[in-house]
Chain A
């Protein structure tokens, strides 16, 4: 974007003012995340920059909050829990979500639109309502405060993301490929495995990453459904933020930011690969 040749002085001023406004909004988005990273290396137990940090005194920086986190059995336990629950919830959500998206993408599926709406609804319904419902129901059937209960809950929350990303990759899908595969003697299962799945793989993987991050980040259902034994990283952070005693949460936050950067990079690369595969030219 550059200002047109016929722009007057007012428009040129506006052109630069506009860019400054946009810069400020982008700063508002990114600054709160970036600011945590240096703070997590604070040598003092404060949540703000010390004198020494501002003058870049090496004495003012340390890894003590990272050491604190690694040596704390509660943190280690919550990291393990997050990985276990996230892993299984991701696998189940990816499996069911992909199958649902495949079924829903066929034009003759009955009740396609209402089914789609129903399956996506966990993403839209307020988490507090989902959590309340699950709390009452899971308590009755003995799934509250158990690992399977949390995995089931996170699976339900992850499925909509998989459906959306897989449906998106299926949009450019050439239905002739299925007929071609069938005419060569493959049964529907083989066709799905050998023809469809490789083509929609980018969507499946990015859906899996969304499901993983949903489980990894989920706090409301965990608050209601997990016992002391099942507490996850978000639950540990929740307690840390409430008590606000030690900047260990800043170290944990910095590690989670690194995870977010890795996930974002992975999804971006997948998206480009998928566009290349489907022949969508980047615009």
Chain B
């Protein structure tokens, strides 16, 4: 009989195994899948966080500087997706991005592409990344907005009056003041992105699957529960570490919900 406890599953989660002598070695090349998926998950989560920051920062700034009457109306554009069912948003991305979908139709009609060369924008990595960015963007905009709201415009004005051009005033005065918002939004988006399951499952195709999907795969298809649990534990440890950091930096009770 074997031992009661084993670290085999943890090794398998990183494409490693024990050889006959009990040394830890890499699995043969054809069996290596998981390392690539971990890297892909990290890469996609970082890319989604970066995209959310690039897209969300200007919008949060605009919303925080507009008069309340106008910004409240524009805020609907941020909050409505937040309240709309995830599956509705995924449906609409499939409808928009698929080969016979709305965007491809528009491109063909505009003459950008010919009818035979319709773009493949969903059921692959592009689909996962676009849908994830769309879903996570409000989680970036709201913390940024609440930080920017507290920054007095006088700081930038003072910098300008002391001779800084607008770029320098932004870089040296405004940007450092918004770092708490960037940190809060970035950590939140990353932590949510890294565990995504349903979005890659529906719009990711084969190339857009993330670690969450492999946990589900090992639970329900290959029935390798030990491996699923090991992968889940590693993911959980990562998430809890970031959660701890978030709690230290932002304080979980300060999370903004709409």
Binds A, one of B10-18, B20-28, B32-40, B76-84: B76-84
Whether B134 is near chain A, meaning CB under 8 Å from some CB there, is: yes
Measured in the bound complex, the distance between the Cα atoms of B86 and A14 in whole Å is 35
Contact A25 B91 (CB under 8 A): no
Contact A18 B92 (CB under 8 A): no
Contact A256 B84 (CB under 8 A): yes
Measured in the bound complex, the distance between the Cα atoms of B255 and A167 in whole Å is 11
Which listed residue, A25, A116, A128, touches B252 by the CB 8 Å rule? A116
Query: Within 8 Å CB of B116, what residues of A?
Result: none
Whether B182 is near chain A, meaning CB under 8 Å from some CB there, is: no
Measured in the bound complex, the distance between the Cα atoms of B225 and A132 in whole Å is 10
Contact A260 B94 (CB under 8 A): no
Contact A234 B215 (CB under 8 A): no
Nearest-neighbour CB distance to chain A for B244, whole angstroms, equals 8
Given A167-B253, A220-B197, A283-B149; A238-B87 close (CB under 8 Å): yes
Query: Within 8 Å CB of B144, what residues of A?
Result: none
Whether B247 is near chain A, meaning CB under 8 Å from some CB there, is: yes
Contact B235 A241 (CB under 8 A): no
Query: Within 8 Å CB of A264, what residues of B?
Result: 76, 79-80, 83, 258
Interface centre among B58, B91, B229, B240, by most A CB within 10 Å?
Answer: B91
Whether B44 is near chain A, meaning CB under 8 Å from some CB there, is: no
Measured in the bound complex, the distance between the Cα atoms of B87 and A48 in whole Å is 18
Query: Within 8 Å CB of A256, what residues of B?
Result: 84-85, 87-88
Contact B87 A124 (CB under 8 A): no
Contact B239 A124 (CB under 8 A): yes
Nearest-neighbour CB distance to chain A for B151, whole angstroms, equals 12
Whether A43 is near chain B, meaning CB under 8 Å from some CB there, is: no
Contact B65 A237 (CB under 8 A): no
Contact B257 A32 (CB under 8 A): no
Binds A, one of B1-9, B97-105, B171-179: B97-105
Given A26-B74, A126-B239, A127-B195; A164-B215 close (CB under 8 Å): no
Measured in the bound complex, the distance between the Cα atoms of B198 and A28 in whole Å is 21
Given A30-B77, A167-B253, A219-B86; A19-B62 close (CB under 8 Å): yes
Interface string of B193-219 (1 = CB under 8 A from A): 011111000100000000010011001
Nearest-neighbour CB distance to chain A for B231, whole angstroms, equals 10
Query: Within 8 Å CB of B252, what residues of A?
Result: 116-117, 120, 164
Contact B85 A234 (CB under 8 A): yes
Measured in the bound complex, the distance between the Cα atoms of B34 and A47 in whole Å is 35
Contact A242 B202 (CB under 8 A): yes
Contact B85 A35 (CB under 8 A): no
Measured in the bound complex, the distance between the Cα atoms of B96 and A231 in whole Å is 27
Report which B residues bind A (CB closer than 8 A).
55-56, 58-59, 62, 65-66, 68, 74, 76-81, 83-96, 98, 100-102, 105, 134, 137-138, 149, 157, 160, 166, 191, 194-198, 202, 212, 215-216, 219-220, 225, 228-229, 232, 235-236, 239-240, 243-244, 246-247, 252-253, 255, 257-258
Closest 5 CB pairs of A and B: A126-B195, A1-B65, A32-B92, A128-B197, A260-B83
Report which A residues bind B (CB closer than 8 A).
1, 4, 6-7, 11, 14, 18-19, 21-22, 25-26, 28-30, 32-33, 35-36, 39, 46-49, 113, 116-117, 120-121, 124-129, 132-133, 135-136, 161, 163-165, 167-168, 210, 213, 216-217, 219-220, 224, 234, 237-238, 241-242, 244, 249-250, 253, 256-257, 260-261, 263-264, 267-268, 271, 282-283
11 A-B interface contacts by CB (under 8 A): A30-B80, A117-B247, A126-B197, A126-B235, A128-B215, A132-B219, A132-B232, A237-B88, A241-B87, A241-B91, A253-B91
